[in-house]
Structure 1
């Protein structure tokens, strides 16, 4: 007989409600698909709008900038209502963002596409701010980090679906876009570019259908609130100012925020420019073929999460991620300096190492926060995703400056070096805590 679902005073549950946890986990591939389509758009827009690497990176700036700006408002909504309400709002805003691709594809301006991408990101900020924390709350506290790792396991499935949609519905067969445009008159090139921009609409039409189905599920299924019981104790009620003051003095939390920022900068730089790296090293391939390398990257990302989930049952997560960081630095150094197609496989391999980073940093950092500050702390952790807006711009700037996209992969290598040092420090801290508990 199934145990009755009980919510404890800290908001956690005595067991995992399976249906609700599955539905929350279904949200993770939804933002994965949107994020991976950015890699397609960056490649498409560079040629169609004749952009520099620095300018193409503003696709990611619009996307992750939306996350950054809306995370605190999303947390406020969660605080005043529930995780479920915030998720429903997020789905609605995601739907509106997808619809903005219709006028964007007709207006055919880079700015309007950035507006549509920003609109999607606003919805995704609501979804991630709520779903990441909600996944940790839907069950016992001691298994919170394992739950978010399990939910995050489905994120790369969305990444893969997004890239496949882009490969077959945005890119075409034949020579690369740059090669095709080079042989056209200005009038022919304008017509061709318009046709290419119309193709960007198709993946978002598929996503819209899925979003409507998921929205209906969240409207009709009952969800537990999983929020700490603060209404009976007025002293436990805190405002935003008090929360920010508390978090500003919480050093482990601040270290986690910076690590999450750097991780997002790392992940987004590598993924933003992998297709372009392949095209630069081998000009004889086209965008549709080069997009296969991103499919391989997301498969590697998925496999990496599976491997990490097994390893972290046998070893400390911080130890596993320290080793991952060291290997990642070596792989990205190879990618930056080896002048042949094996460098692309170095970038693909790095995705194996990305898998456990975000959920582990998120779960560990949230554990350093008192229960009554959790919603806002979770939102600020999501705000650290702004690293994804900054990293590609930095790499794009250095790519233009060096005149070599490949050499600019030094930038994500430095990001991974920082994470290796962070996880090494956290691993030492864990060891000290363990030794102190033995002595006590």
Structure 2
């Protein structure tokens, strides 16, 4: 038995013999929460239509999910410290499934508030899952390969970014849209029938997702997972129990800020992708949905390519390059027209791909016994996904429904990430 540089007990042959199957199970979680997140890109324009919403109201889909991360970050960290990785993962899966099942009555009643509650519950489950799974994937092996391992796991989150929009386009989007004037001109029975049919299309995908989550939870119950313990006494745990004390690590504090802006940028891009494709490139709803799947494919490719490139360069250098290119692509999306807009959006998928796991792994470098607490902060920072899409929707509404102007918001986010990759990542201690 030996102790890795992060302070965790690691058996010499553990990576090959003991950690491979647990790592595969954890990778499946990255895929599942990727499905939930990337269905939102289809869900936002769909519920905008089915529930007759404006841009800011439709962005509350993201607000509900990502505000849950903020609310659950501290409780999730407490669960992780008290009950460990395995039980935290099971709780997260069951909570996630309950939110998915709640889509059925929400669709039956065509009640947007109930959809938002379901999404909030899903977000609570995701927060618990990510708080446990991200550090678990990072420390499930030698510390020197943590970034590589986390990017590999996150690559399957990227795979979900391709699969979810295609599933959503096939099973949720009808391809039929009416203007407000056309709906008003319809007989009331026809209008209500159309809106009810639109709302009902979400039931099968989310019911299926809920069942799958319960099956995975059962699998985790019966499979033995190694509970990696940090090398810390009860006295030390008590001394380090202050939730804010971990921010004495400046590189972690800046990682929390960078993650806040990154998640905001990613969610902005995917949430308004379909409307951006319709307005900027002039494609129809279904075609835009399939292009969102292509975006997901490029996101996935970017994750695998990024994982490969990390063998030849440092994580912070690769992050800086990807952030700089993203700034340029966001500008093209704002000021371009036609297919150029779609190419820029696809490029953003590729170059955003490594940002979350890279920021996460840079943020927990050298934290040892503080890793679980740090994970709570990094998961809490996902609340950026609640803030920035709403701001983007407000910008779009202010700009007379010009979706392209809303992409000024993610452009600013990429500039913050670029700063972090050049300065903020550096490991140093002391109060900020």
Q: TM-score, normalized by length of structure 2?
A: 0.92
1:26 is aligned to 28
- Structure 2 matches for 1:405-424, cutoff 5 A? 405-424=403-422
Residue 257 of structure 2 aligns to a residue in which SS? Answer: helix
Q: Check the 8 A contact 2:296/2:349 in 1, yes or no.
A: yes
Q: Which runs of 4+ in 1 moved over 4 A?
A: 5-9, 177-183
CA distance in 1, matches of 2:281, 2:230: 55
| Matching of residue 64 in structure 1 with residue 62 in structure 2 | no
Tell me whether 137-146 or 62-71 shows the greater mean CA deviation.
137-146
Residue 222 of structure 1 aligns to a residue in which SS? Answer: coil
- CA RMSD between the two structures: 2.1
1:379 is aligned to 376
- Structure 2 matches for 1:184-203, cutoff 5 A? 184-203=186-205
CA distance in 1, matches of 2:230, 2:53: 49
| Matching of residue 273 in structure 1 with residue 272 in structure 2 | yes
1:316 is aligned to 314
Structure 1 pair 12/262, CA: closer, same or farther in 2 (3 Å)?
A: farther
Question: For structure 2, which runs of at least 5 residues remain unmatched after alignment?
Answer: none
Q: Deviations over 1:116-149 (max 9, x none)?
A: 1111111111110000011112112222221111
Shift of 1:415: 1.0
CA distance in 1, matches of 2:141, 2:281: 49
Residue 381 of structure 1 aligns to a residue in which SS? Answer: helix
Q: Check the 8 A contact 1:162/1:203 in 2, yes or no.
A: no
Q: Deviations over 1:186-217 (max 9, x none)?
A: 33111110111010111112212321221121
CA distance in 2, matches of 1:74, 1:304: 30
Q: Check the 8 A contact 1:238/1:372 in 2, yes or no.
A: no
Q: Check the 8 A contact 2:163/2:296 in 1, yes or no.
A: no
Q: Check the 8 A contact 1:170/1:199 in 2, yes or no.
A: yes
CA distance in 1, matches of 2:76, 2:207: 26
| Matching of residue 328 in structure 1 with residue 326 in structure 2 | yes
Structure 1 pair 239/202, CA: closer, same or farther in 2 (3 Å)?
A: farther
- Structure 2 matches for 1:253-402, cutoff 5 A? 253-281=252-280, 285-369=283-367, 371-402=368-399
Tell me whether 417-426 or 111-120 shows the greater mean CA deviation.
417-426
Q: Check the 8 A contact 1:12/1:139 in 2, yes or no.
A: no
1:437 is aligned to none
Structure 1 pair 177/367, CA: closer, same or farther in 2 (3 Å)?
A: farther
CA distance in 2, matches of 1:106, 1:77: 34
CA distance in 2, matches of 1:51, 1:201: 20
Q: Deviations over 1:3-50 (max 9, x none)?
A: xx8776922423321111100111001000000111111101112222
CA distance in 2, matches of 1:304, 1:177: 37
CA distance in 2, matches of 1:311, 1:177: 46
Shift of 1:81: 1.3
2:177 is aligned to 176
1:101 is aligned to 103
Q: Check the 8 A contact 1:70/1:125 in 2, yes or no.
A: yes
Shift of 1:240: 7.0
CA distance in 2, matches of 1:91, 1:13: 27
Q: Check the 8 A contact 1:303/1:352 in 2, yes or no.
A: yes
Structure 1 pair 426/316, CA: closer, same or farther in 2 (3 Å)?
A: farther
Q: Deviations over 1:299-319 (max 9, x none)?
A: 010111111112221111211
Q: Check the 8 A contact 1:176/1:286 in 2, yes or no.
A: no
Question: For structure 1, which runs of at least 5 residues remain unmatched after alignment?
Answer: 433-440
Residue 154 of structure 1 aligns to a residue in which SS? Answer: helix
2:237 is aligned to 237
CA distance in 2, matches of 1:224, 1:392: 38
Q: Deviations over 1:69-110 (max 9, x none)?
A: 112111111111110000000111111111111111111111
CA distance in 2, matches of 1:11, 1:258: 26
CA distance in 2, matches of 1:307, 1:109: 42
Q: Check the 8 A contact 1:302/1:355 in 2, yes or no.
A: yes
1:425 is aligned to 423
CA distance in 1, matches of 2:276, 2:53: 16
CA distance in 1, matches of 2:407, 2:184: 28
